[in-house]
Structure formats: structure tokens, C-alpha cells
């Protein structure tokens, strides 16, 4: 009896780290930091749409939308890892992910992706509306079945991925008003353009990894980085112009305040993009990445402050 008890206790102790590792692996499938950012942009878009249309927000519907959005986003990220499991194995940056690290099986990851999608779509259909659910499914298909395979075929995968990355804005607007207004489309454009300098910096920093994994990022197909630098500058300029559009829905005082701050933020981002275009060193690429991470939340705070 004593020996059996000791054996059972040892088994529990030995299995604890393994179970913890498996739980952590499932959390990693969601790419939690990215999913949180998706939820944040979704929520901001929802409140902006409600403010623009001057309608209230149902708490139950909003919470259901967040859960649904999380499910769809988590599923997309998991299926992305499932489809890229072989290239992830070849890249040092991603070799520790659940599949190449052999912490989860392909079946487990695919099952998690399917269940997450089902739960997410169920919440959106039951508690929100069919428009948001349809947009969420379209986003999932675009990300999983178009963007992910394109990464092995053409550097234009970034354009497709940017559209998928900005679609939560449309979902947020649809969740509260069942339509997308001027501010919603402008915010969509901002998030779309914001991604290019952000991704170009990442693509330059990890260009060797992408090459080893067989992913045709712009910094792999054009290894000098000149094209990536030009694209960063061009999209940063366009971003400044598009970022000003929401001011058209504001009062005169808010209009000028918003335009001034939006231009300052845009120039801050553009300056980092110009520096990256001029000299593509690791330090400058990381600075562009850091500036991109600073820009987006500050712009969202500006939007919310001036419109709500």
C-alpha cells in the first residue's frame, strides 16, 4: 500500500510539468499577444461605430462578440501553425512552437483549430449578428487558406495578410451597427497601411529565418532590402493621409486637435520608415518596429478621445 501510494504520488509529480507544458502549448497556438491586439482593435472599432451612428451597445452582445472574435482569431492562428509546421521546424525563431517542438500532435492542433472556430462562430451567430459572423468566416478563410499558402509562393502575401489583419475593424463596426461608416473604413485603411512598415521591419530582421523556411517574403526575394525600405516609406506617407479622414466626422475643435496629433504621430512613424529605407541595419529595423508598436495604440487613443 505504501509503495503504491508513493508510486502514484511520484507519477502525479512527474506528470505535472508535462501537463503544464501541454497547457502552455495550447495557449501558444492562440498567439495570445496577437489575439489580444485583434480584440483591442475590434473593441475600439465597435465603440467608434456606435458613437458615429449614435446608438447604444448591448453588453451581452459585446461580450459575445469578444468571445467569438477570440475563438475565430485563435483558430486562425492555430491553423496557421498547422499549415506551416514544416517551415516552422526549419526556422530557429519558430522551431520551439508546439508542433515542431513535438509538444502537440498535428491532430491535436487541427482539432483545437476546428473547435475554436466552431465556438467563435457560434457566439457570433447566437449573440451578435450574421453579418459579423460572415465577415469573421471570410477573414478566417483569407488568413488560413489564402494568406498562409501564399507565403511560400509570392512576396505579395504581405498585402493579403494586411487585409486579413485589418478585417477585425470591419467586424467591430458590424457587431454594433451592422454596417461600416466613414470612420470604420478609415480605421480599416489605417490598420491596413500601418502593417507594411511594421512587417517590413520584421521581415528584414528575420530574413535569414524566412529564407531557411522557404517563405518568399520581400526581403528574401529582393535581399538588398531596398524594395522593403521603399514600401515602408510609401505606405507611411499614405498612412498619414488616411489617418486624417476620421476628422471629417468631428466638430471644428476636435477636427483641428485630431489633425494636429494624427500628423505628428504619422510623421514620427514616417521618420522611422525613412531611416530604415536609408540604412537597413538591425538597430534601425528594430527602431522602426518599436515605433510601429507605439504608433497604433496612440492613434487609437486619439480616435476614441475625439469621437466618443
Query: In this predicted model, what pLDDT tens digit does every residue of 141-173 receive, in sequence order?
Result: 999 999 999 999 999 999 999 999 999 999 999
Do 182 and 246 contact (CB within 8 A), yes or no? yes
User: CA-to-CA distance for 94 and 104, rounded, in angstroms?
Assistant: 14
* Cell numbers representing residue 287 in the block: 527602431
By CB atoms closer than 10 A (0-12, 13-18, 19+), residue 175 is buried
The arithmetic mean of pLDDT across residues 288-308, rounded, is: 95
Question: pLDDT at residue 1 above 80?
Answer: no
Domain boundaries along the sequence of the chain: 20-180, 181-308
User: CA-to-CA distance for 307 and 298, rounded, in angstroms?
Assistant: 14
User: CA-to-CA distance for 148 and 209, rounded, in angstroms?
Assistant: 16
- Longest CA–CA span in the chain (Å) reads 82
Count of C-beta atoms within a 10 Å radius of residue 103: 17
Q: Which pLDDT does position 217 carry in this prediction? A: 96
Same fold, 20-180 and 181-308: no
Q: Which pLDDT does position 20 carry in this prediction? A: 53
Question: What is the dotted CATH code of the domain comprising 181-308?
Answer: 1.20.120
Fold assignment, 20-180: Tetracycline Repressor; domain 2 (1.10.357)
User: CA-to-CA distance for 289 and 272, rounded, in angstroms?
Assistant: 9
Global pTM reads 0.90
Amino acid at each position: 500500500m505504501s509503495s503504491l501510494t508513493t508510486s502514484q504520488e511520484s507519477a502525479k509529480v512527474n506528470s505535472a510539468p508535462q501537463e503544464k507544458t501541454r497547457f502552455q502549448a495550447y495557449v501558444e497556438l492562440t498567439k495570445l499577444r496577437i489575439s489580444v491586439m485583434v480584440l483591442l482593435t475590434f473593441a475600439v472599432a465597435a465603440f467608434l461605430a456606435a458613437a458615429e451612428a449614435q446608438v447604444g451597445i448591448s453588453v451581452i452582445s459585446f461580450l459575445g462578440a469578444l468571445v467569438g472574435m477570440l475563438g475565430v482569431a485563435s483558430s486562425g492562428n492555430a491553423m496557421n501553425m498547422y499549415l506551416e509546421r514544416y517551415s516552422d521546424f526549419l526556422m530557429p525563431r519558430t522551431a520551439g512552437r508546439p508542433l515542431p517542438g513535438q509538444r502537440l500532435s498535428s491532430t491535436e492542433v487541427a482539432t483545437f483549430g476546428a473547435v475554436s472556430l466552431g465556438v467563435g462562430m457560434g457566439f457570433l451567430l447566437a449573440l451578435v449578428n450574421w453579418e459579423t459572423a460572415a465577415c469573421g468566416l471570410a477573414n478566417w478563410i483569407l488568413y488560413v487558406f489564402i494568406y498562409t499558402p501564399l507565403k511560400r509562393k509570392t512576396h505579395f502575401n504581405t498585402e493579403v495578410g494586411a487585409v486579413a489583419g485589418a478585417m477585425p475593424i470591419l467586424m467591430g463596426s458590424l457587431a454594433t451597427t451592422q454596417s461600416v461608416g466613414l470612420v470604420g473604413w478609415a480605421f480599416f485603411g489605417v490598420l491596413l497601411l500601418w502593417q507594411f512598415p511594421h512587417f517590413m521591419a520584421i521581415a528584414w530582421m528575420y530574413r535569414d529565418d524566412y529564407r531557411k523556411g522557404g517563405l518568399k517574403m520581400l526581403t528574401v526575394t529582393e535581399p538588398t532590402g531596398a524594395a522593403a525600405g521603399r514600401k515602408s516609406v510609401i505606405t507611411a506617407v499614405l498612412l498619414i493621409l488616411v489617418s486624417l479622414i476620421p476628422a471629417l466626422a468631428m466638430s471644428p475643435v476636435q477636427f483641428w486637435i485630431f489633425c494636429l496629433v494624427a500628423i505628428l504621430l504619422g510623421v514620427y512613424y514616417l521618420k522611422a520608415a525613412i531611416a530604415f529605407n536609408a540604412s537597413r541595419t538591425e538597430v534601425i529595423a528594430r527602431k522602426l518596429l518599436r515605433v510601429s508598436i507605439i504608433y497604433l495604440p496612440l492613434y487609437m487613443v486619439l480616435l476614441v478621445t475625439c469621437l466618443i
